[in-house]
Each structure stands twice: as structure tokens, then as C-alpha cells.
Amino acid sequence: MIIVLKKNAGEKEVDNIRKKVETLGLGIHVSKGEERTIIGVIGDESIIRNQPLAALPCVEKVMPILKPYKLVSREFKPENSVIDLDGVAIGGNKIAVIAGPCSVESADSLLEIATGVQQAGATCLRGGAFKPRTSPYAFQGLGEEGLKYLAEARQKTGLKVITELMDPRDTELLVKYADVIQIGARNMQNFRLLTEVGQHKKPVLLKRGMSSTIKELLMSAEYIMSQGNYNVILCERGIRTFEDYTRNTLDLSAIPVIKELSHLPVVVDPSHAVGRWELVLPMTKAAIAAGADGLMIEVHNDPGNALSDGTQSLLPAKFANLMNEIKTVAAAVGREI
Ligand code: PEP
Ligand code: MN
């Protein structure tokens, strides 16, 4: 059960509810959002079902939520969430385009790519400084040096910066440098990491695990939100199936399904889904047609020599072409790019 307090409710009102709930042998979890405070009741809800909590003057509504994810659900918030990155919105009518290299490799190449994607219309720059690589011998990322290059590129281009956090010990560093913290597919169920980013207000882009169900993705988002961070963006990046022609299989139906179940914005990453640059454009079009709120696309100035994911990376000119081609699809579904 969730108790949503009115905007003007303060500590006194929360304490009052805490006492009432605790006398019944239940616990509470208080989430203080920028807008309002939400109290989650922990324990056997049936004990409290007949208590007239909704009649308290500080209470806006009391919601029994049957689904295991609550703060994430459409029942909890019927209107779409828009995550504001200080001037760039993810989740509104305009489709947000995030583009950049898989890994940050050098200051010069990052700036060249960032300038290219910005001129083509992207509003956010992606680039990994801490890379989750299958092989321990593969390039692991530049660490803090990479974060500094991202910050420099932001300063020169005005793009917002998205980069991946793999280790809770690096959280403060990422909070300092990034506009959005990415939690990668391999860490979607790293609950310690989710709890950690939940304790900050920094927006989080949560990627779906390659073998995770939509429900599991939503439960992971609930971990972050239950800590008080409501700035969550979900990302479909392809799942593992028997098909091996593509790197993964882009689960297009996840887009309308998530939008039915949740108010959170959905970004689609066609690059990691298909693993081949030639397939990025058609799947980007399909993602827009299916209702994606944003796109994450890998772009590299020299894909043949990229330190990671060159085969799925578009040259800046190809990315510019993609940006042109998707306009008509966006317009056909009433969206803007
Ligand atoms: C990435 O976006 O850099 C990445 C590693 O993607 P994923 O976690 O989806 O594999
Ligand atoms: Mn990559």
C-alpha cells in the first residue's frame, strides 16, 4: 500500500502516520520526492486495509497496489514521467537522441564525435569510461580520465553526458561528472548498485538485462525509486534469443508493454540490440513507430579501429543521415525529433 501525502505535509505528519502504522506491527518506508512525500507500508497490508488513513487531512490518496512494483506503476502515476536533464527532457513529445562512442577513447576523438552528433541533432552524448567487457583482456575504459573528457565535450558542445556506473565505489565520481548515470544490462540486477544510485537525485538510465523479463526490469527500477530517486529512464537494448544473426533480438513489444505498465520513459538502444551498423537505421525507425521516447545510438569517427563495438557504430555522416530519415517516422506517430 502506498500513502501519498499532500504537498504541504511535513515531518510532523509523517511521524503521525509512522506511529499509527507501527502500532499495527507494520513498517514504513518514506520517500521524499521534490514534489511530495510518499509512504510505502511494509508488511501484511490486510492489517491496515480498514484503517481510515485516507481521511487524514495530510493524505492525498491511499493506494493498494497489487503489482510487486509500485512507484514504477501507472496506477501510482497515470501521467507519463518526463525526466528533466536541466534543459533536455526525456519522455516528452520530442524524442531524445543520445549518441556517441561505445567507449571514451581519447579527448580528440570524443570531441570530434560529439561535435558531429550535436550538429546532426543529438542532445546527449554517450560514452563509457568504465566498460563492462566480457574479456578481462579487452579495453576496460579510461576511468576518471574518460569522465574528464566527457565533461570537456559537454562544455564545448552543450550536450548532456550519459556514462555507465559499474561499481558502487565510483558513485560519487559519476554524480560529479555525469548528467545521467547508466546502469548497464549486466548490472540490471546488481541490487547494491541500484540502491546506491537511488540515494542520489541524479537521473538514471537503467538498461534491461539481456536475459531479464520486463517485470524484472520494472522491479529493478522500483529498487532505485524506493530509495527516493524518481528520475529513472528505462532502456530496451535487445534480449538473448536463439537467433544469432544479430547480436541480440530487439524486443520491440517491450516498448508498448512498458508504457502500459509504467509511467517511466523508454529509450531504445538499437546498436547493442542488432550489433551491426547496417541494421541500426531500420530498427531505429521501428522503435520510433512503436512509441520509444528516446534513442541511444553508437557513433564512432573510425569504427574499424574502435576499441569496442566498432561493428555496430555508425560514422557521423551515417548518423546525420539517420537523423534525417527518422523525422518522417516520428511525424507519422505524432512525435518530434
Ligand atoms: C553500453 O551501452 O555501453 C553497454 C555496455 O550496453 P549494455 O549494458 O546494454 O550491453
Ligand atoms: Mn557498446
* DSSP per-residue codes, 94-156: BPEEEEE-SB---HHHHHHHHHHHHHHT--EEE-BSS---SSTTS----THHHHHHHHHHHHH
Torsion angle of C-alpha atoms 255, 257, 260, 265, degrees rounded to 10: -30
- Ligand 1: which of 269, 274, 298, 307 to mutate, judged by most atoms within 8 Å of the beta carbon? 269
C-alpha of residue 298 to centroid of ligand 2, in Å: 7
User: Is the pLDDT reported for residue 233 higher than 70?
Assistant: yes
Ligand 1 closest atom vs CA 102: 3
Query: Which domains does the chain show, CATH number per domain?
Result: 2-63 (3.30.70.1140), 83-332 (3.20.20.70)
Rounded Cα distance, 158 and 283, in Å: 28
Rounded Cα distance, 267 and 264, in Å: 10
Rounded Cα distance, 51 and 244, in Å: 55
Mean pLDDT in residue range 286-303 = 98
Mean pLDDT in residue range 218-236 = 95
Work out the mean pLDDT of the chain and round it to a whole number: 95
Ligand 1 closest atom vs CA 128: 3
Coil, helix or strand at residue 62: strand
C-alpha of residue 127 to centroid of ligand 1, in Å: 10
Mean pLDDT in residue range 196-212 = 97
Task: Take atom 3 of ligand 1 and give the residue whose Cα is closest.
Answer: 102
Mean pLDDT in residue range 271-286 = 98
Lowest mean pLDDT among 16-25, 272-281, 317-326: 16-25
C-alpha of residue 312 to centroid of ligand 1, in Å: 12
Lowest mean pLDDT among 10-19, 117-126, 138-147: 10-19
User: Is the pLDDT reported for residue 51 higher than 80?
Assistant: no
Q: Is the CB of 101 under 6 A from ligand 1?
A: no
Q: Model confidence at 101, in pLDDT bands (50, 70, 90)?
A: very high
With a pLDDT cut of 90, the percent of the chain lying above it is 81
C-alpha of residue 184 to centroid of ligand 2, in Å: 10
Q: Is the CB of 184 under 6 A from ligand 1?
A: yes
Mean pLDDT in residue range 55-75 = 87
User: Would you state the pLDDT for residue 34?
Assistant: 67
Task: Take atom 4 of ligand 1 and give the residue whose Cα is closest.
Answer: 184
Rounded Cα distance, 85 and 80, in Å: 16
Tens of pLDDT, residues 176-187? 999 999 999 999
For residue 144, the tally of other CB atoms under 10 A from its CB is 14
- C-alpha grid cell for residue 289? 513507430
Q: Is the CB of 272 under 6 A from ligand 1?
A: yes
Ion ligand 2 neighbours (CB, 5 A) are 102, 309
User: Is the pLDDT reported for residue 153 higher than 90?
Assistant: yes
- Ligand 1: which of 182, 211, 299, 313 to mutate, judged by most atoms within 8 Å of the beta carbon? 182
- Ligand 1: which of 133, 183, 237 to mutate, judged by most atoms within 8 Å of the beta carbon? 237
Phi/psi zone of residue 318: left (φ > 0), alpha (ψ -120 to 50 degrees), beta?
alpha
Coil, helix or strand at residue 163: strand
Task: Take atom 6 of ligand 1 and give the residue whose Cα is closest.
Answer: 184
Rounded Cα distance, 157 and 20, in Å: 53
Pair 46, 64: CB distance under 8 Å: no
- Ligand 1: which of 246, 272, 308 to mutate, judged by most atoms within 8 Å of the beta carbon? 272
Q: Pick from 267, 261, 253: which is nearest to 70 by CA? A: 261
Q: Is the CB of 102 under 6 A from ligand 1?
A: yes
Phi/psi zone of residue 282: left (φ > 0), alpha (ψ -120 to 50 degrees), beta?
alpha
User: Is the pLDDT reported for residue 323 higher than 80?
Assistant: yes
Q: Is the CB of 237 under 6 A from ligand 1?
A: yes
Lowest mean pLDDT among 11-20, 159-168, 248-257: 11-20
User: Would you state the pLDDT for residue 321?
Assistant: 98
Coil, helix or strand at residue 37: strand
For residue 235, which amino acid is it?
C
Ligand 1 closest atom vs CA 184: 8
User: Would you state the pLDDT for residue 306?
Assistant: 98
Predicted model pTM: 0.89
Strands 83-84 vs 89-90: parallel, antiparallel or unpaired:
antiparallel
C-alpha of residue 313 to centroid of ligand 2, in Å: 8
Mean pLDDT in residue range 198-205 = 96
- C-alpha grid cell for residue 142? 579510461
Higher pLDDT, 90 or 74: 90
